[in-house]
Structure 1
């Protein structure tokens, strides 16, 4: 007798169970709470929404108020079985803890079993960091033959000179860039603003872009744009466009395909620390709320410290 096919097996089980409407309502109300009460950034809202959608997929017809720590531990195991990175699993757990805190505030649950959740130990993975020579190659990759080379060169210079996230660079407004005072003001996660210094080369590139290209792009826009970096239609660049630009110029410079806009942020922090900058100062420039997040970059100090040790320690 022939064995049933995979499709026949799935049909025999009936339709997949879906989470009940009340659970979906809890999650929807939580997202509204994050947006209106906590005033989280749009990207943070989207991340919480994605994580809770996965939670609802696992939840099926389970009742949220009845879930215990053992149930939530099964959820974490379920996440791990989907080959998510340790950092992604940890982020889902953080989202779940925050969600349960909201449910406590609303009186849906009395206890917060999510507080007891643990995840597999996250590796301190070395982020993708470019060498100074690779950075030079990348920043020089835009050529005069490229249609928007002034903008692209200024964009790459700002990413590396400031350590700003791609979303922060996309959100930069012309009025928040002070070339005379050599700094810019960007808006980070949670709407927090910070001042970041600009170097000579980035200032020169920005000025060239404003004088030679941006004025032409502004003329193409339906309304006068406020943002610094504009697309060919005169609209603000988005993160996808920035990501593609970095990928294209990295490929031209002969750099690994793993390079992204965030790689320039990693390189910014790494090179500062390797040059002797203080961790607190780098934390402030990166806009990290917790200094532990900044400490991931201290791996680069090992080679420098070994050199100092060999040079000065009497028994090195």
Structure 2
């Protein structure tokens, strides 16, 4: 489509991840397809009322507020680029939907987490154990996990650290606790001898994002627990908040550019609300 390639080039110049770019492009294409059903004008003739109407269109569908707001955010970035590139005469943006519902906890319950970890450790595959412990003990994104190279890891007798490249190509260093160090060392002892520099390797070379998802799904199916790398990241973030770790520290651990993003881990679970009211004494 016209303008899409230019928009993609713009996103790459901003060091956005492949996954983020794919999401932006998909959302914008969806808007353009809808726009074509409403007018014969090209996208360079779009006006703010079009964006507002599209927002109402999305609200009529059976989509979560967070999904709608993501699509609107993608559209706003696209329209901002269109203005900067000289394709639009004025600035256009659409406000997100205000969500007054309590933000739901997206991680795993403690009993689910222990059940999953025990199943993986009991199975005894060193690479799978390394994967679950790295995700859970450091909170790294799956994209960061699959890009870890051997040179990014430094382990001594009592300490360890890991360097990862996060969003925006920003590097951060994370300490490795004893569980993470133990899992890495056991995996390295069993890791096939190869010239491949990536830490996690399978029969066809370095593991990709999809391979990690499939491995977690395998154990999730065995334990009847729905699990994704993102859920493990949320589980750690929530746990750190409950342990009263400073938000700025959590922000640094998770590689968030904005501390408002870190606030998503300050949720209260439905169970905690229930317990709070259950134990009231007058």
TM-score, with structure 2 as normaliser: 0.87
Q: 2:131 aligns with which of 121, 138, 155?
A: 155
Secondary structure, aligned partner of 1:299: coil
1:7 corresponds in structure 2 to none
Residues 215-260 of structure 1 deviation map (CA, whole Å, 9 limit, x = unaligned)? 25x3xxxxx2111111233x111111111211222333x3532x21
C-alpha distance 33-174 of structure 1, shift in aligned 2 (>3 A): same
Q: Is the contact between residue 162 and residue 285 of structure 1 (CA under 8 Å) also seen in structure 2?
A: yes
Decide which of 153, 156, 171 is 1:177's aligned counterpart. 153
Cα shift at 1:170? 1.0
- Structure 1-normalised TM-score? 0.78
| Aligned with residue 184 of structure 2, among 181, 198, 206 | 206
Q: How far does residue 100 in structure 1 lie from its aligned partner after superposition?
A: 1.6
Aligned to 1:236: 206
**Match runs of 1:37-116 below 5 Å:** 37-60=13-36, 61-114=40-93
Distance in 1, matches of 2:141 and 2:88, equals 37
8 A Cα contact 1:161 1:199, kept in partner: yes
Aligned Cα root-mean-square deviation (Å): 2.4
In structure 2, how many angstroms separate the alpha carbons of the residues matched to 1:54 and 1:178?
45
Deviation of the 1:191 alpha carbon: 1.3
- Structure 2: gaps spanning 5 or more residues: none
Q: How does 1:293-312 map to 2 (within 5 A)?
A: 293-300=261-268
Aligned length: 271
CA distance 1:184–1:124, shift in 2 (3 Å): farther
Q: How far, CA to CA, are the matches of 1:42 and 1:145 in structure 2?
A: 33
Matches of 1:154 and 1:279, distance apart in 2: 27
Shift, 1:204, TM fit: 0.6
Q: Hey, what's the Cα distance between the residues in 2 that align with 1:52 and 1:112? A: 17
What do the CA deviations read for 1:36-86 (whole angstroms, capped 9, x no partner)? x32222112111111111112112133223222211111122223342321
Residue 140 of structure 1 aligns to a residue whose secondary structure is helix
Whether the 8 Å CA contact 2:103–2:267 is kept in 1: the answer is no
Post-superposition offset of 1:274 = 0.9
SS in structure 2 opposite 1:125?
coil
Q: Equivalent residue for 2:96?
A: 119
Residues 15 and 168 in structure 2, CA contact (< 8 A), matched pair in contact too? yes
